[in-house]
Amino acid sequence: MKYIAMIYGNQEKWDSFPAEAWPEAIAKQEAFNRKYRESGELLGAYGLADAVNAKLVRRKDGAPAVTDGPYLETKEYIASFYLLDCESQERAQQIAADMPFASEDPVELWPVLHESAADM
């Protein structure tokens, strides 16, 4: 079964993270990604731009209407997400708990209930 694991960002928190600590944090995240790509359980890992770059797209009178985002006014936003393919929910939870930042912030884990083939 597939799962989406999401990590939230908080600009204030990122800004307080010492610059000299980022290379080690990124290396730990890359090691995590490599480990689970090699096991076949990590299908994709995606880091998102800061929330100030988000856009809201609607349709108004048949044409796109684009405004600044994100949709919710909040300090936290989705910073990255991972697509997992695991044999069980328990295994997905183990992988989420193994994420380097899981000791700092929770990882939100959602089962994927429907998938539409991209190659159709």
Q: How far apart are the first and last CA of the chain?
A: 21
Residues 107, 97: contact at Cβ < 8 Å? Answer: yes
Residues 2, 85: contact at Cβ < 8 Å? Answer: yes
Residues 81, 6: contact at Cβ < 8 Å? Answer: yes
Residues 80, 47: contact at Cβ < 8 Å? Answer: yes
Residue 120 lies in a domain: no
Instruction: Tell me which residue range forms the domain holding 60.
Output: 2-111
Residue 20 lies in a domain: yes
Q: Total structural domains in the chain?
A: 1
Q: What is the CATH number of the domain that holds 29?
A: 3.30.70.1060
Residue in the block written with tokens 């006014």 = 73
Per-residue pLDDT of the chain (120 residues; tens, 9 = 90+): 999 999 988 878 778 889 999 899 999 999 999 999 999 999 999 988 887 888 889 999 999 999 987 666 667 788 899 999 999 999 999 999 999 988 888 999 999 998 887 766
The burial of 27, by beta-carbon neighbours within 10 Å (0-12 exposed, 13-18 middle, 19 or more buried), is given as exposed
Residue 116 lies in a domain: no
Contacts of 51 by beta carbon, 8 Å cutoff, 6+ apart: 9, 11, 69, 70, 77
The pTM of the full predicted model, rounded to 2 decimals, is: 0.82
Residue 43 lies in a domain: yes
For the record, the structure tokens of 51 come out as 């929330």
